[in-house]
Amino acid sequence: MVRTGQLPSLMEEVVARVENARDKCDAFVVEGLIPDADIQIATRLNIGMIQSLSADIIPVLAGQGRGAEDLTAKVATAIEHMATTGVGRSPA
- More confident site: 89 or 83: 83
Helix or strand or coil: residue 36? strand
* Per-residue pLDDT reduced to its tens digit, 10-50: 889 988 988 888 778 888 777 777 776 666 788 788 888 88
Q: Is residue 91 part of a domain?
A: no
CA distances for 8 relative to 1, 21, 68, angstroms: 9, 20, 39
Rounded Cα distance between 53 and 41, Å, is 18
Q: Is residue 2 part of a domain?
A: no
Q: Is residue 15 part of a domain?
A: yes
Altogether, the residues listed in the chain come to a count of 92
- Count of the separate structural domains present in the chain: 1
Q: Is residue 74 part of a domain?
A: yes
Q: Is residue 17 part of a domain?
A: yes
Burial class (CB within 10 angstroms; exposed 0-12, middle 13-18, buried 19+) of 65: exposed
Q: Is residue 28 part of a domain?
A: yes
Q: Which of 1-5, 58-62, 72-76, 86-90 has the lowest mean pLDDT?
A: 86-90
Range of the domain at 53: 7-85
Q: Is residue 32 part of a domain?
A: yes
Q: Is residue 1 part of a domain?
A: no
* Most confident residue range from 34-43, 49-58, 67-76: 67-76
* Per-residue pLDDT reduced to its tens digit, 3-18: 788 888 988 998 898 8
DSSP annotation of 35 reads P
